[in-house]
Chain A
């Protein structure tokens, strides 16, 4: 079945550092790929998405490229801010349900 493997956390970075959170997937067919973000005490919000190979999703300075050859969808940001502290979930949307990774807790220190 479909599965998502996400970089384990927690991740702690200094402000303005470069961020990468790795995500790889296993799926049949041609799924859509998503990154969701969860701020403390809240539900998940869509951060970005890509629907086909080589698509790049971007939002709020975050980017991720759908790489079919490596079955990956790594999240990157060039310069993180304290306000980026949250839990990040990689997700795969196949024919039916969304399948999530376990989440990566990111803490940015000033």
Chain B
């Protein structure tokens, strides 16, 4: 049973380009969370999704960032027109149920904007 798979592991984008980060949850998990970790800082919640629904996006910047978790396929975190301040590690986690249930994390995607 594969764990949470994130790809790519490392992503380099020039300012103004788009970044697409993918997350395949563990088999059977229908809850997906995205977190951002800036260098030497903690985890910041971004968005919580269930299949085809955004449940909580209170941590998402209002502009340029979007997330989806379609019925089929991985969850996608999209960052349009990236800026240097978007450089960070982005972690995806999945769980069977709501917040009281253990979440399993992927290895993260390290985004570098040059």
Residues of A within 8 A of B (CB): 31-32, 34, 36, 42-46, 49, 51, 89, 92-103
Contact = CB atoms under 8 A, between A and B. Distances in A.
B100 A95 contact: yes
A92 B102 CA distance: 10
B107 interface: yes
Interface residues of B, number: 24
A94 B100 contact: yes
Interface of B: 4, 6, 33, 35, 41-43, 45, 48, 55-56, 91, 93, 98-108
* Chain A interface main SS type: strand
A98 B103 contact: yes
Given A99-B45, A103-B42, A44 B91 contact: yes
Contacts of A32: 99-101
